[in-house]
Structure 1
Amino acid sequence: MLRSNLTFKIFMSFVAVILLALTITSFSIYVRSSAELERHNEEMLTQIVNNALHHTDLYLEKYERATLSVLTSSLVKEFLELDDSNVYQYYSKSKEIIERVFRPVSITNPEIVMVYLLGYNGKIITDINNVTASKEEAILESLEELKQQSREDGRMTVMDYSFIDGTVALTRKIADRQTSRAFKGILGIEMRIEELKTLWQGIHLGDSGYFFIVNDRGRIIYHPSSRKIGKQLDGDLFTLIMDHRNSSVTAELEGVNRVFYNKRSEYSGWTLVASTSLEEMRKPIVNVRQTTIVSAILTCLAALLVAFKFGRSFTKPIQLLVAAMRETEKGNWTRVPLLGKKDERDRLILSYNIMVDRLSGLVDQVYKTELENRANLLHRKTAEFQALQLQINPHFMYNTLETIVSYAIIQDSKEIREIVRALAYMLRYAIRTDLEEVTVANELKHLLHYMTIMNHRFEREFPLDVAIPSELLLEKMVTLTLQPVVENAFKHAFPDGIEEFHTITIDAKIENDLFLIEVSDNGAGMSAESLSEIQSRLKGHEPSQMLEGKLETDGGIGLLNVHSRIRMVFGDEYGLSVTSTPGEGTTVLFRMPAARAPGKLPVT
């Protein structure tokens, strides 16, 4: 028990400390690392989107500056003011604008594939691949759409149909002078998208990440998947992005939880969105968690192994001492071998061995002394018991002899023989000096001899009522205890003489492993003071006091004598108890063990 308890307690104490320390440390590291990784990932997405947005704006601003020469050209202003009926001037101005205005812009910016000027008066000039071509009808048909989509502040506008055919279309409204908002035409540029694609395709967002652009109307301007360009972005996702503009948001797309970080360009009106799967984004955090858990488990196992070995090294000498103590309890004086560590454990074992050596000598000495004391005590108890038995009140003997003499003088009758025979039996029974218990039948027989003498003294039969069941006649009781109690009743219960209604009843029963005998009379009873004194003396006296003459009574051997001898034979928990009611009588209760084996005496 000590081995299991102490080892378990030490081990569990180490487990609690180790687990608490590892939990706090691992949790702190995981929380801090996770927060730092999330912040780093968000900063990375922010930086990627900001860089892409910045370079895209620079790219578009470059072409916006290229159109300034067109806006400031007087030829363009003249063209916008042409009369619809002057066909000659229209063609001459168109050719001149192409040669002097559009071509220098195309040459300087080779990415431009088309430049056109569309007047609200229905006149149009186009320059495609540096060769005049006729594409006017398609552009004229989209005049109203161009008016609606182009910005009212006169700045460059990216058209919705850009990127569909590999080009980006830029338009801006123009007036006859720069400060005027009375627009008279639209200047358009279409250029190749390869340079922008190269810029956007260089953005790496992991295996599951990608980058796309959407305008304010939800139209996808750019997407790594060409089939999605020009399509409308999912309505719920577009609403979510617009509600969380210039920030990150998590949403489910095609069954996958993804993180979207977006930022809108005030210059182009585009919203650049970087997206990556939440699982991939959190993969470093998962790796940190797994690494933390594995490290914690390995550390915990190593620490527990050390704790177990340390606990075993601490409890092993204690277990040896406990085993030796158990042998010592059995009387086998056992020494414990030293561990050879020369520390406190060996000093403890050495102290125990010295204690065992000293105790073994002391126990031997005490054992011899105890044997001598027991022999002396047995002799003393025997002497006490014999002395108690021999304390027979001589008054009874004197009265009996006087009765015998009286009968002898008056007549020669059988009464003398009965009295003498009963007296002889009583004397023979009373002088027994052994400590054996007798049966109830023996005591009743002795009592009947006593009553034979008493009846002759009273000159009539006294009604002694014996109600003991026959099956209890072989129960064991102490010799010479029943007759003294009955004698005490004759002396004290009927102080004014014995009347016809007077009686003494003897009954017995077994209750809760106790053999109980009741001796009751219907005499005068006791006063409360006398009863209290007798009960107190029955409760507190010692048998040796009887030998010293301290408990002598007026009633024969007396109740205290009987009480002392019962306690000597059966133990201190047994004996007599007395109850009495003045004018109604007295009851003496014998308490003895029931069904005791013959010849068995208590160890004292």
Structure 2
Amino acid sequence: MFRSNLAFKIFTSFVVLILFALTITSVSIYVRSSAELERYNKDMLTQLVNNALHHTDLYLEKYERATLSVLTSSLVKEFLELDAKNAFQYYSKSNEMIERVIRPVMIINPEIVMVYLLSYNGKIISDINNVTASKDEVIQDSLEELKQQTREDGRMTVMDYSFVDGTVALTRKIANRQTSKAFKGILGIELRIEELKTLWEDIHLGDSGYFFIVNDRGRIIFHPNSDKIGKQLDGDLFTLIMDHQNSSVISEHEGISRVFYNKRSEYSGWTLVATTSLAETRKPIMNVRQTTIVSAILTCFAALLVAFKFGRSITKPIQLLVAAMRETEKGNWTRVPLLGKKDERDRLILSYNIMVDRLSGLVDQVYKTELENRANLLHRKTAEFQALQLQINPHFMYNTLETIVSYAIIQDSKEIREIVRALAYMLRYAIRTDLEEVTVANELKHLLHYMTIMNHRFEREFPLDIAIPSELLLEKMVTLTLQPVVENAFKHAFPDGIDEYHTIKIDAKLEDDLFLIVISDNGVGMSAERLSEIQSRLMRHEPSQMLGSKSETDSGIGLLNVHSRIRMVFGDEYGLAINSVLGEGTTVLLRMPAAQTTGKLSIT
């Protein structure tokens, strides 16, 4: 049961992990690849159409600029103002305009097949380049149609009948003055379309894709199928393209779902459309999906085979250990042979064999350990009894000190009475084991008893400056922390005696969630090396003397003791810090949590 369950759980875990990883990886690769391919296809269609549009507009603008020499000629103005009934003047001006205005344009631009100038009074001047048939009568008959289709802003217009006969027809309205909008005629040119067709026919969009151009009225300007040139585009498709200008759209056309991307030229009014079948655009995505599925299946099969062998390699040594443990339960200390793999499995078996060897030895030590435990229990009881005895001694000392005070009263010795009473208060305060956290007011009271004794020693009042705000007197702090620091200042800050200018200042403040007590003196300070040594010992919490060879014994508790007790009560992030400048003084900072952040504080 153990063998089958463990092997099955290991194999099942690997299967779930492998399938999950493969699923996430395969789906991510497929989704990302599909999105990238779709974006690439759209970008490709966009780039093809934009390039074709750009080159087409450049091609047409070239010939629009070619007509400027015609528009600026004074002969054109004279022609537009001719009397329609003066035939002699008409023919005279016609020949002069052809030689001086029209023909130079055609020489510079050999692609121009025909240039004509048609006035609104029905007169026409034209020149045909290498074409035998004349279109003068056709153009004259189409005057009204030309006037209607040609743009009113004086810019070049591409006519609907372009491309039908292998040429593209461009027209623009002209006036007798270049800045006038009172048009009196139409200037037209017809170009060979071989260069444009070469540009458009070079656009390849796969087996099912093609490129075509349609104008604003739905007439097909260019199409790979020449039979459709000049025909009207399917109404639904034309409406769809016009409703989605300069964007891509998917639509059913000719029985196939196709992608259409179009871009409209503001210059020519043509809409250039690139289209390809939806199936062809998604063919790479299908290939990616098939490849991903096949790769996932093969990877999964290989991973499961490895997982099965890996699971067997783990369960086999465990089965050996289980069998050996069953024998050990019966009291037979059984060792397991090593597999010879020199890996964690052999180390596990080796550890088990060492455990078996040691268990047999440990059994012999059980009785000896029981005897040692009984001896330790007896020692503990003895220590507790001694602690109870120590609690009796302070009461004897209180009574003795009270007796001394009584004699001092009888002898009328105020100094002895104050010293002994202060000492009694300090002793009573110091030995109370139920006080770990006290208020600042209580600690200051203890410090003032200490200062009573010190003032008698100094034989004068020492100016202790207590600047703690009244609202902070009820903050919590650790007992017996102020007096050792002040005592240390007396001993080390003023080694040459107390002068009038010497002072010790005690201040307190709240800073964020901290309650800080600052004890500073204007004594001799200490060197940078000594300060660094003390700060290092505080950080290491080193149980050694902090300030001199007799600091611990002379001060009674010592700075390290203060630092340790603050950390024990409030936590390792709090404690004592020292800063000093040689010749200027020393500052000791007690860092404790503010009462509002701790609530009812408890011993840490």
Q: TM-score, normalised by structure 2?
A: 0.54
Partner of 1:59: 59
| Partner AA of 1:158 in structure 2 | V
Distance (Å, rounded) in 1 between the aligned partners of 2:309 and 2:69? 88
Partner of 1:258: 258
Offset of residue 343 of structure 1: 5.7
User: SS in structure 1 opposite 2:83?
Assistant: coil
Q: Deviations over 1:52-110 (max 9, x none)?
A: 11111111011111111111222222222222221111222222222222111111111
| Inter-CA distance 339–97: structure 2 relative to 1 (3 Å threshold) | same
Partner of 2:296: 296
Partner of 1:307: 307
User: SS in structure 1 opposite 2:184?
Assistant: strand
Offset of residue 135 of structure 1: 2.5
Q: Deviations over 1:152-199 (max 9, x none)?
A: 111100011111111101111111111111111111111100011111
Distance (Å, rounded) in 2 between the aligned partners of 1:109 and 1:355? 103
Offset of residue 326 of structure 1: 11
User: SS in structure 2 opposite 1:126?
Assistant: strand
Q: Deviations over 1:282-323 (max 9, x none)?
A: 233333333333332222222211111101112234556779
| Inter-CA distance 132–185: structure 2 relative to 1 (3 Å threshold) | farther
Q: Deviations over 1:182-233 (max 9, x none)?
A: 1111111111000111111222222322211111111111111111111111
Distance (Å, rounded) in 2 between the aligned partners of 1:351 and 1:219? 90
Partner of 1:513: none
Question: Aligned ranges for residues 575-594 of structure 1 at < 5 Å?
Answer: none
Q: Is the 8 A contact 1:57 1:265 kept in 2?
A: yes
Tell me whether 1:10 sits opposite 2:17 in the alignment. no
User: SS in structure 2 opposite 1:230?
Assistant: coil
Partner of 2:73: 73
Q: Is the 8 A contact 1:119 1:186 kept in 2?
A: yes
**RMSD of aligned alpha carbons:** 3.4
| Inter-CA distance 350–270: structure 2 relative to 1 (3 Å threshold) | closer
| Partner AA of 2:242 in structure 1 | M
| Partner AA of 1:177 in structure 2 | R
Partner of 1:162: 162
User: SS in structure 1 opposite 2:297?
Assistant: helix
| Partner AA of 2:120 in structure 1 | Y
Q: Deviations over 1:402-437 (max 9, x none)?
A: xxxxxxxxxxxxxxxxxxxxxxxxxxxxxxxxxxxx
| Inter-CA distance 101–323: structure 2 relative to 1 (3 Å threshold) | same
Distance (Å, rounded) in 1 between the aligned partners of 2:284 and 2:93? 65
Partner of 1:34: 34
| Inter-CA distance 354–169: structure 2 relative to 1 (3 Å threshold) | closer
Tell me whether 1:271 sits opposite 2:271 in the alignment. yes
User: SS in structure 1 opposite 2:122?
Assistant: coil
Partner of 1:237: 237
Distance (Å, rounded) in 1 between the aligned partners of 2:6 and 2:131? 100
| Partner AA of 1:267 in structure 2 | Y
| Inter-CA distance 50–324: structure 2 relative to 1 (3 Å threshold) | same
Partner of 2:91: 91
Partner of 1:248: 248
Q: Is the 8 A contact 2:113 2:131 kept in 1?
A: no
| Inter-CA distance 13–172: structure 2 relative to 1 (3 Å threshold) | same
| Inter-CA distance 132–259: structure 2 relative to 1 (3 Å threshold) | closer
| Partner AA of 2:80 in structure 1 | L
| Inter-CA distance 198–348: structure 2 relative to 1 (3 Å threshold) | closer
| Inter-CA distance 345–51: structure 2 relative to 1 (3 Å threshold) | closer
Distance (Å, rounded) in 1 between the aligned partners of 2:117 and 2:34? 56
Q: Is the 8 A contact 1:256 1:277 kept in 2?
A: yes
Q: TM-score, normalised by structure 1?
A: 0.54
Distance (Å, rounded) in 2 between the aligned partners of 1:82 and 1:342? 113
Distance (Å, rounded) in 2 between the aligned partners of 1:132 and 1:229? 24
Q: Deviations over 1:12-37 (max 9, x none)?
A: 10111112222222222332332233
| Inter-CA distance 130–179: structure 2 relative to 1 (3 Å threshold) | farther
Distance (Å, rounded) in 1 between the aligned partners of 2:302 and 2:69? 78
User: SS in structure 2 opposite 1:205?
Assistant: coil
User: SS in structure 2 opposite 1:231?
Assistant: coil
Q: Is the 8 A contact 1:126 1:132 kept in 2?
A: no
| Partner AA of 1:111 in structure 2 | E
Q: Deviations over 1:361-406 (max 9, x none)?
A: xxxxxxxxxxxxxxxxxxxxxxxxxxxxxxxxxxxxxxxxxxxxxx
Offset of residue 112 of structure 1: 0.9
Tell me whether 1:45 sits opposite 2:45 in the alignment. yes
Question: Aligned ranges for residues 401-440 of structure 1 at < 5 Å?
Answer: none
Partner of 1:284: 284
Q: Deviations over 1:492-515 (max 9, x none)?
A: xxxxxxxxxxxxxxxxxxxxxxxx
Q: Deviations over 1:575-599 (max 9, x none)?
A: xxxxxxxxxxxxxxxxxxxxxxxxx
Q: Which moved more, 1:312-321 or 1:112-121?
A: 312-321
Aligned residues: 359
Partner of 2:186: 186
Distance (Å, rounded) in 2 between the aligned partners of 1:276 and 1:190? 32
Distance (Å, rounded) in 2 between the aligned partners of 1:234 and 1:9? 65
Offset of residue 271 of structure 1: 0.9
